[in-house]
Amino acid sequence: MRRLVHLALLLTIMLGIRACGGMAVTEDRLGAGTRWVAEKVGLAGTKDAFDAAVRPPMAAATRSVSDAIYATTARTLDSVELAAGSFSGWVVQSIRAGLGRIDGSLQPVLVPEPPLDPERRDPESEEEKARRARAQ
């Protein structure tokens, strides 16, 4: 039973290290830990068989899972970035539309009437006044 617990712990550590990136230093430490555990548990003879038969498929599986997690995370973050950009664009567009409505409603109030030309204060010219007087 003790050997199975140590073996399960070893496999869990290996999967965890490989899933987290499998850096060279960590793999070296894992190799040293594997040798130590194999010596303590009495599996020193079976370690070579384990390394040849089980470790390559396990490494391939954990690499595949790591790549899938990475790809899924990258797609998710791209989608979040796209959604955030769209949302911020919508907010800016709504603010501009609101400011445009406010500007449109205040524009007639804020625009002064143009000053009248002093010669054109009376809209009727002398000729128009004479014509109207003759018509009466």
CA distance 49 to 28: 19
Tokens representing residue 30 in the block: 């894992």
pLDDT for the residue numbered 46: 74
Counts of helices then strands in the chain (DSSP H, E) = 5, 0
Asked if the structure places residue 90 within a domain, the reply is: no
pTM of the model: 0.39
Q: Which two tokens stand for residue 7?
A: 């073996």
User: What is the model's pLDDT at position 90?
Assistant: 93
**59: in domain:** yes
Predicted pLDDT of residue 117: 62
Q: What angle do CA 44, 46, 52 make, to 5 degrees?
A: 120
**pLDDT value of residue 71:** 87
The burial of 43, by beta-carbon neighbours within 10 Å (0-12 exposed, 13-18 middle, 19 or more buried), is given as middle
| 28 lies in some domain | yes
Q: Report the number of distinct structural domains present in the chain.
A: 1
Splitting the chain (136 residues) into consecutive groups of 10 residues, what average pLDDT does each group show?
A: 71 70 66 78 72 81 85 88 91 91 65 61 67 76
What span, in angstroms and rounded, lies between the C-alpha atoms of 1 and 84?
53
Give me the pLDDT at residue 86, please.
Answer: 93
The reply to whether 109 falls in a domain is no
Q: How far apart are CA 40 and CA 114, in angstroms?
A: 100
Residues present in the chain in total: 136
- 13 falls within a domain: yes
- Domain range holding 34? 2-75
| Amino acid 88: pLDDT | 92
